[in-house]
Structure 1
Amino acid sequence: MHIAGINWVAVLVAAAAFTAIGYVIHMRLVDLEAWDAAKHNDKAGLSTVRMASGIILPLATAIGLAVLFAWGNVAGVGNGVVWGLAIALASALPTLWYNWFYGSSPIWIFWVDSAHQLIGHAIVGAILAGWR
């Protein structure tokens, strides 16, 4: 379903893929107790509404990349990966790393989050540009 030059089915699939990547990285590959201790999280204090709203950020990323790809006529899986990585390196990672420069969490937290952003942007880019 294309509206305004954007394949909205691809946007939803890309957002779901980004969310799934985050789940695998943060819930399966990382020691959750170490993560919670490093982030000073209290599991009891985490709101289920807040956690459930976690799809908003991957959806915003997918929509943003879809708009940029439509404007720039980015097509093809390889181009999508390259542009997804470029956008992650130019925007997502610098924003993420502000929290390390001015925060107190250990650096490994930011390497994990950076991997999530890089892989996520590459996959979102591949899906969006490959499914044009």
Structure 2
Amino acid sequence: MIRDEKGNAVRMVGTDTDITERKKAEEALIKSENEFRELAESIDDVFFAVDRNFTFTYWNKASERLTGILAEEALGRSIYDIFPNNKGTKVEKFYIDILEKQKPGTMEYNYKIVDTDYILEINTYPTKDGLSVFIKDI
């Protein structure tokens, strides 16, 4: 602020920044995330995502129904913490192969969850951060 000899403000210097585009981008991102969550929660198939260390980053309601494990219990935990019997199985090798080759894959697998035997179709897709996995009880 610049003042005259009497101390009155005569000029002010400042800057402003137009953040309209940034705000629009933030709103679009929030909208996109909400649409994704709505879609992922509405499907009947199990859907989860893991990072490259096999830590769960997403766990939908169908995952909760099939396993009895709530999202809050799975998120941030390793697949080996949640499913310790997966270590050394065909499923583990399948996931590792998809991560390494960066190509999607499908397999059928017999799996027991809470005293129930399932034949599962596992569709797995590599992502930038890890894997997206869709599982259907066939």
TM over 0.5: no
The structure that is strand-richer by fraction is 2
The structure showing larger relative contact order (alpha-carbon pairs under 8 Å, at least 6 residues apart) is 1
TM-score, normalised with respect to structure 2: 0.29
